Amino acid sequence: MKKIIGGLVFFLFVSTVNAQNYLPVDESSTVKFTIKNFGLTVNGSFKGLKGKVVFNPADLSTALMSTSVEAATINTGNATRDAHLRKEEYFDVIKYPRISFISTKIVSSINEGMYLMEGNITIKDVTKKIAFPFKAILTAGGYLLEGTFKIDRRDFGVGGNSMVLSDKLTVTLAVVAKKN
């Protein structure tokens, strides 16, 4: 009986250690984007990062990133522009309050500390597959996950047709994930 109880305790301990569950820390993380408007680069960001991260470099079969940001937190440093971007033609933040990403696959790269993430990004109820490389940096109590990807805003019905706003934008992530 002692062996069974001891084995069960050991199994639960190992399962907990290997689970590697983390929560993204909004205050320490950044979700930034850049886009050309009238030929000038506009930088912006989102806050309100929530979700969960499951990451263990030794076992990527269980790896998962399921996160979202609040669309209404868009900040380009111009309050008038930000208010315009919250409207129906752009992010329609009343109807679609969150922008989300859920990974479908994470695999290691040939470069140490580098990985490839595949998943689905959803903006305004439109979901598209994306894939991008990211770096996982071990920190005290978790990881810093850094990556960059490009999307076409028109794929998500953001901004309609525009002669002055670029279709392509670059998203840069620096997600601090701490143990749950």
pTM score of the predicted model: 0.88
Residue 124, CA distances (Å) to 29, 89, 133, 162 in order: 23, 11, 24, 18
pLDDT tens for residues 121-137? 999 999 999 999 999 99
Task: Report whether 86 contacts 72 (CB < 8 A).
Answer: yes
pLDDT tens for residues 105-162? 999 999 999 999 999 999 999 999 999 999 999 999 999 999 999 999 999 999 988 8
User: How many helices (DSSP H) and strands (DSSP E) are in the chain?
Assistant: 2, 9
pLDDT at 180: 87
